[in-house]
Amino acid sequence: MKETSQDIQRILEQFVDAQTAGRMVEDIQRADELMSAAATVKVRDEMVAAIREKVHRRLAARKIRNIRIRIEKFVIAAAAIIIVAVLAEVFFNSQQDVIPVGGALTTLSIWNDTDVSVLKGQVETLSNQMDKVDQTAVQWLDENNGLTVEVDNLEEVALNTEFWKG
Amino acid sequence: MDSEQLKVLIYKCKAGQQGAFDQLIALYADRCFGFLYRLSGHRQTAEDLLSELFIKLVEKIGTWDGGSFDNWIFTIAGNLFKDHLRADYRRKKLLQEKAGQLQTGEFAEARNDLEDKLQQALKRLEPEIAELIMMRFYADLSFKEMAERRNEPIGTTLCKMHRGLKKLREIMEVPEKQRPI
């Protein structure tokens, strides 16, 4: 907002004496009056309408551009997320594959023939031991024949009486 | 419209509301046109520049920082006029080079269709001073705001303005024959 004459006088008095400031203010005031008295120029209504139309078109274009920018940003962000996710999955999967396979290959040495023969020997020993246990059991049953008959009888009684039905 | 209402209107414009821009055009079209008309002295040029100003406003309104909107919009208008002058100067120079006989004075005279007293007086002022006077009159800026815009002390702006307005007054009040050469 423009200063009043008093404001201008006050400002001018900081640089010149009061009398000169007064004259300057008078000059400014008179010039302002002449300016105001001069013919006012107005823009034609058709021109305003044309400007409005141009502005509307530009606004519509700006809106479309903004939407496109937003979509582009969204697509870029989504693509970045997908790429990161895929890379992370690939990385973790490769970590899981590499460690056990590497471990198995380095810790188990079943790939040479000497190790296979050792294993075969161990399996054979275990098989012999199981046979021995079987033989011992059969031998014990033969020696205690009465007990096996008694067990058979008890099983038969149990099946026939159906005591479990209450 | 007070400054708060104007701020609300500008924020609506920033949001891209068509109606708000219509209001802004209604509010500033005449003043900006007067400013550009007085500076150029040519209706067609002023209309072209006015149209360019509002188109530019659509793109630049987001950069308005909340200061004096009048100062901001008239600064853009002033810059557009300066750009126009530069382009006009280049065009005239090119025409002169091509044609060899085109007289710049006649060309300028033919373009100037606003021949009232004020316009004649403004033509006799330095362009910088003429713009300053127009800025004060049409943008309704205070000396303080103008000094800030021009990055100079308020005393300097006041002296330039006084010199310009005094000359304007002399030209407009004193008849041609009595005017000192």
> How do residues A52-109 score in pLDDT, each as one tens digit?
999 999 999 988 888 889 999 999 999 999 999 999 888 888 776 555 555 555 555 5
Is a pLDDT exceeding 70 seen at residue B103? Answer: no
Q: What percent of chain A has pLDDT over 90?
A: 19
What are the boundaries of each domain within chain A? 1-41, 44-108, 112-166
pLDDT of residue B12 exceeding 80, the answer is yes
Give CA–CA dist B99/A32, Å, rounded.
43
Per-residue pLDDT, B28: 93
* pLDDT tens track for B155-174: 888 888 888 888 888 887 77
Which helix (DSSP H) or strand (DSSP E) does residue A34 occupy? helix A18-37
Q: Are residues B42 and B63 in the same domain?
A: yes
**Partner A contacted by B1 (CB < 8 A):** no
pLDDT at A48: 93
Looking at the structure, do residues B98 and B12 belong to the same domain, yes or no?
Answer: yes
| Structure-token match 């046109």, residue found | B33
Residue B1 lies in a domain: no
Amino acid identity for residue A153 in this structure: N
Q: What is the pLDDT of residue B109?
A: 43
Q: Is the pLDDT of residue B32 over 90?
A: yes
What's the CATH code of the domain at B126? 1.10.10.10
Q: Taking CB atoms and an 8 Å limit, are B47 and A43 in contact across chains?
A: yes
The overall longest dimension of chain A from CA atoms, in Å, is: 148
Residues B109 and B121 in one domain: no
Percentage of residues of chain A with pLDDT beyond 70: 81
Residues of A in contact with B158 (CB under 8 A): 8, 11-12, 15, 24
Question: What's the rounded Cα separation, in Å, for the pair B46 and B38?
Answer: 9
Q: Mutation test of the interface with chain B: which of A55, A56, A59, A62, choosing the one with the most B Cβ atoms within 10 A?
A: A55
Range of the structural domain that residue B48 is part of: 7-114
Does B151 lie in the same domain as B72?
no
The count of structural domains within chain B is 2
Whether residue A24 and residue B162 make contact (CB cut-off 8 A), yes or no, is yes
The mean per-residue pLDDT over the stretch B113-125 comes to 74
Segment (H or E) for B98 = helix B69-99
- Verify that B121 and B110 share a domain, yes or no: no
- According to the model, what pLDDT value does residue B178 have? 58
The reply to whether B155 and B130 lie within a common domain is yes
Host H or E run for residue B106:
helix B104-111
Does one domain contain both B91 and B103? yes
Give chain B positions within 8 Å (CB) of A39: 116, 118
